[in-house]
Structure 1
Amino acid sequence: MWKMELKLTDKLAIERTRLANERTFLAYFRSAIVFLSSGFAIIKLEMLREVIWIGYALIVIGPILFFIGLFRMLYVKKRIKKSYQNDPD
């Protein structure tokens, strides 16, 4: 199969894309943790008994958000690797 040698600028662009993908996953992870902790806080606070359903909703949304971020990161990682298969790293 025909292989094209990548320039340094191309390699750096690929690395920036990989790092951006990881940063995006970390943002999803951070948001999931905030949703979970907020949900637990709402459930534990006595003065918020009228809106306890919001706490349970946040606890359900947190893991869903995490898995969306995880699947998205793996999908983009696979696409990056597929696009630049001739990259030796």
Structure 2
Amino acid sequence: MSKIWNNNKRLITIENIQQLVIGSFLIAHKYTGDHTYKNKYWAQALGISIETINSWESDILKTVNFEIFVDSEVYYEIEDIFRNRCDNEVKLSMGCITN
């Protein structure tokens, strides 16, 4: 997602965020896993057509020029962003902080 954002911020919209999150997850799952599920499984599990899943995956890969490797420094920066956001959401839900 960060590569898409860095290439062209206008490509990420409220209308396509679901496509980007699911597609990015599937690509990451395939890239890092030795035994992965086929797109047909994900399509059935998510209630989305196989053609749609394939299209999302293809569109994302083309957008990042098939460069899906993320070096460890970038990975840890992104992980920190998510971890801090999640920590803040938990604190907010517990009344520890206010918005």
Q: Structure 2 length as normaliser, TM-score?
A: 0.26
Q: Which has the higher contact order (CA 8 A, sep 6+)?
A: 1
If you compute each CA radius of gyration, which structure gives the higher value, 1 or 2?
1
Structure holding more helix per residue:
1
Q: TM-score of the superposition, structure 1-length normalised?
A: 0.29
